[in-house]
């Protein structure tokens, strides 16, 4: 049996996910980068004992990348299923991360799977796949990155039940950082305090808030023996900004936090 990845619930998200899976409803996760969306889906797939097929969406992702294509193998032309098709055949969970990054033809392919039809037409193989009860489609995106050119159309959004994510409250974030990094809890407390201060800079000096993921990275470096300032420089300052003045401001906050 696959071990269930560590995840600390913030609210009723686990119950909502399981209910959506049981009722064959597609799920949309909304939240900032690094707040735990992917870990949550991985946790729930293991908890429900279903295979997980994760796709990181990007500008060049096509419908064929999801459904499959004919390839030449050993001198023969054979059909190779894409991750979405495999998830349907195996009754698994297909997770499309940052769905707004994908091309428009990708979302069109998803539409028949997100209503009562729950089917996937494969024109090239002349098949119509009907999703089994155990199949689930999960997509995510970061609303903070939305603009006119990259947004999820209302006609697509309204095909999903949705769940909003944010960074966990301090006491839960402390538990996550300590568990994931192995750093002593008292030292993790300083990182959580630092995150609270850094997140106040969102929309002022930083395009994106410091993520729980980056805090875990920083704590991991510290647990390995790296000086807190060096760890913070590598895991927090450099990933958050390239601007010299902004970096200097972040360093001042870090020095004020660690003393």
Task: Decide the pairing of beta strands 27-30 and 136-141.
Answer: parallel
Please state, rounded to an integer, the average pLDDT across all residues of the chain. Answer: 92
Q: What does the alpha-carbon distance between residue 131 and residue 189 come to, in Å, rounded to a whole number?
A: 46
Nearest to 85 by CA among 128, 36, 44, 143: 128
pLDDT at 145: 64
Run of H or E including 250: helix 244-258
The residues near 180 (Cβ < 8 Å, ≥ 6 apart) are 6, 216, 219, 220
pLDDT at 205 over 60: yes
Cβ pair 173, 215 in contact under 8 A: yes
**Strand ranges across the sheet with 52-56:** 52-56, 93-97, 136-141, 27-30, 161-164
Q: Give the phi and the psi of residue 38 in degrees, each rounded to 5.
A: -65, -40
pLDDT at 154: 87
Can you give the three-state secondary structure of 35-73, one letter per residue? CCHHHHHHHHHHHCCCCEEEEECCCCCCHHHHHEEEEEE
Surface-to-core class of residue 133, CB atoms within 10 Å of its CB (0-12 exposed, 13-18 middle, 19+ buried): exposed
Query: Which pLDDT tens digit goes with each residue over 6-20?
Result: 999 999 999 999 999
Confidence of residue 74 (pLDDT cuts 50, 70, 90): confident
What are the beta bridge partners of residue 76? 73
pLDDT at 172 over 60: yes
String of b and e for 147-176 (b: at least 16 CB within 10 Å)?
eeeeebeeebeebbeebebebbeeebbbbb
Q: What does the alpha-carbon distance between residue 92 and residue 73 come to, in Å, rounded to a whole number?
A: 27
Q: What does the alpha-carbon distance between residue 151 and residue 137 come to, in Å, rounded to a whole number?
A: 19
């Amino acid at each position: 049996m696959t071990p269930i990845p560590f995840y600390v619930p913030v609210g009723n998200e686990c119950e909502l996910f399981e209910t959506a899976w049981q009722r064959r409803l597609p799920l949309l996760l909304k939240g900032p980068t690094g707040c735990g969306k992917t870990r949550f889906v991985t946790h729930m797939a293991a908890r429900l004992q279903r295979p997980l097929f994760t796709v990181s969406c990007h500008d060049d992702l096509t419908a064929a990348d999801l459904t499959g294509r004919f390839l030449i193998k050993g001198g023969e032309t054979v059909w190779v299923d894409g991750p979405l098709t495999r998830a349907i055949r195996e009754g698994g969970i297909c997770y499309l991360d940052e769905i707004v990054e994908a091309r428009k033809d990708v979302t069109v392919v998803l539409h028949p799977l997100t209503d009562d039809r729950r089917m996937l037409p494969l024109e090239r193989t002349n098949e119509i796949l009907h999703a089994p009860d155990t199949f689930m489609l999960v997509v995510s995106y970061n609303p903070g990155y939305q603009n006119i050119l990259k947004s999820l159309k209302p006609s697509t959004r309204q095909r999903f039940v949705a769940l909003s994510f944010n960074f966990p409250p301090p006491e839960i974030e402390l538990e996550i950082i300590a568990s994931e990094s192995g750093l002593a809890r008292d030292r993790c407390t300083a990182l959580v305090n630092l995150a609270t201060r850094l997140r106040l800079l969102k929309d002022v000096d930083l395009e994106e808030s410091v993520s729980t993921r980056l805090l875990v990275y920083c704590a991991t470096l510290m647990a390995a023996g790296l000086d807190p300032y060096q760890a913070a420089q590598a895991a927090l300052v450099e990933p958050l900004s390239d601007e010299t003045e902004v970096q200097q401001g972040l360093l001042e906050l870090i020095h004020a936090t660690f003393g």
